[in-house]
Homo-oligomer: A and B are copies of this chain.
Amino acid sequence: MNGARCCAALVLVSTALLTAAPSSDVLRVREWRTKNERQILGELMQLVALPNLAANRADIARNADFLTSMFERRGFTVTRWETKGSPIVFARRDAPSPRGTVLFYMHYDGQPVDAKEWTFGEPFNPAAFKGTMPVDLKAGAGPVDPDVRIYGRSASDDKGPIVAFLAALDGLIAAKATLPWSIRVVLEGEEEGGSPNFDAAMKAHAADVKSDLAIVVDSPRHPSGLPTVFYGSRGTFTATVTVYGATGDLHSGNYGNFVTDPALALARLLASMKDARGNVTIRHFYDGVEPLTPTEERAIDEIPNVDAKLLEQFGLARAEHPDSRIEVQHNRPTLSITGLESGAVYTGTRAAIPASAAARIEIRLVKGLSAETQLERLTAHIREQGFHVIATEPDAAIRRKYPLIAKVTRSSTGFPIGKTSMDDPGTGGAVAAIRSLDQRVVRLPTIGGSLPFSTFTDTLKLPTIGLAVVNFDNNQHAANENIRVGHVWEAIEIFAALLTNR
């Protein structure tokens, strides 16, 4: 949180010899936590129980109300910044004679859910399990097994960190610890939708959020399980590609061998986008990608290699790029097909050739790339495959003129790439504070996921780090999202160390 520690921190990184030494403040917070475990988890479950898909305004308002009262109870002054989408909840708590100001970012919205896919509890009716055994946290007293997990949408992404943050503050207040930093917290309500209004809102409120350090708290820890900081996040956007056949579904017997199959034309198009080694074959797709710096390469070299562990965990015979570790691949752009739809495979199948076939293509961006450029490159590729590319439904004249027609639309705004230097002196103190709890902190040049990181680095121009506190196997964005209780406890101590760092 200040510059003075930067060099010491970097020395620690490269030697990693010192033993972890939690401060007395952190130890008192730990003591307090052991006496309040069920209350902390109870608050988490209350928060997770609030449905939080950004599209539902009423649900989002209930979350904002609940968060407001959570922060006000801890002495924050809370303001709600309305946007065209979800409101931003802004909380401030000033220190009497602060060393400076630290700004925390977390988000309270969650990914869409498909309740029928959940086997542990329900998305908005959180439940605790150890392994596959249900655990009733309200019954009994005493310590909660750290291997228990709380299941529910946003348990990890990103409500768990909010609760851990406030528990850290509760513990510090209970311990009458000195809080040397003025605190600012922004809680966003549409991160999973690509934070469409966040950057503008933060620009408008730049004076309110002016700080010495921004800490973006989101994302799972590195798969090694170690505490994780990161210096950037990939950008992202999605495009939807729709390929057209006849104007309507056609009887597959009467018109098989007559109408061309839009699903097959789409398959051929998609197959043309990557080679057998997993590299994207769209021309210029990798042009402009900034290479890793020596500092970044060193930081990656220091991280335990988890590729084999991931392959085992995910039941995979090989990685897409077997010769390159995942942390390096996170610094390359991606192209993933996150959706395919045409006709029906399981329910409602008909003996008909569908009128169209569509794919949702997600592209992640790294430093040197923009969504606009990559979308142009994608579109050019589709044209090169012989398609007439359009932006709206084809009319009769277009259908009759072109044998291959693809509608290409950008279907999510996504995030720009955000990345800062690992050598920024403004972030070294915070990293050292985390390291005081565990010398092995993983430092990632960038994470694979996407966050509004660039708002802090590029728009507000603040020294920024990302902080990942939740278990990496939290199933975020999928069914059975969860947070491991032991990770909640460690997150509380990380926040306590950051809030009391001198």
Enumerate chain A interface residues (CB-CB to B < 8 A): 111-112, 114, 192, 219-220, 233-234, 236, 238, 240, 245-261, 263-264, 266-271, 273-274, 278, 307, 310-312, 314-321, 326, 329-330, 332, 334, 336-346, 348-354, 357-360, 362, 364, 394, 396, 399-403, 411, 447-450, 472, 475-480
Contact = CB atoms under 8 A, between A and B. Distances in A.
Given A317-B402, A339-B344, 6 more contacts: A249-B478, A257-B278, A266-B267, A267-B268, A312-B400, A337-B342
Contact of A341 (B240, B341, B399): B341
Contacts of A307: 258
User: Copy number of this protein in the oligomer?
Assistant: 2
22 contacts: A111-B351, A248-B480, A251-B448, A252-B362, A253-B447, A253-B448, A253-B449, A254-B448, A254-B449, A255-B448, A256-B448, A257-B278, A257-B334, A260-B278, A261-B274, A261-B320, A268-B270, A338-B350, A340-B341, A340-B345, A341-B344, A349-B411
A263 B448 contact: no
Nearest to A397: B315
B273 A264 contact: yes
A500 to B, nearest CB: 31
A280 B353 CA distance: 16
B478 A248 contact: yes
B320 A258 contact: yes
A446 to B, nearest CB: 10
A275 to B, nearest CB: 10
Contacts of A250: 314, 478
Contacts of A450: 253, 351
Given A249-B477, A252-B334, A349-B112, A340 B357 contact: yes
Nearest to A272: B271
Contact of A326 (B114, B240, B258): B258
A252 B344 CA distance: 24
Contacts of A257: 278, 320-321, 326, 329-330, 332, 334, 448
A336 B254 contact: no
B477 A350 contact: yes
A348 B253 contact: no
Given A257-B320, A403-B318, A263 B337 contact: yes
Nearest to A403: B317
B264 A271 contact: yes
B360 A343 contact: yes
A199 to B, nearest CB: 19
A248 B334 contact: no
A248 B321 CA distance: 19
A477 to B, nearest CB: 5
Contact of A348 (B112, B330, B357, B411): B112
Nearest to A334: B256
Nearest to A312: B400
A472 to B, nearest CB: 8
Contacts of A354: 338-339
A250 to B, nearest CB: 7
Contacts of A342: 337, 339-340
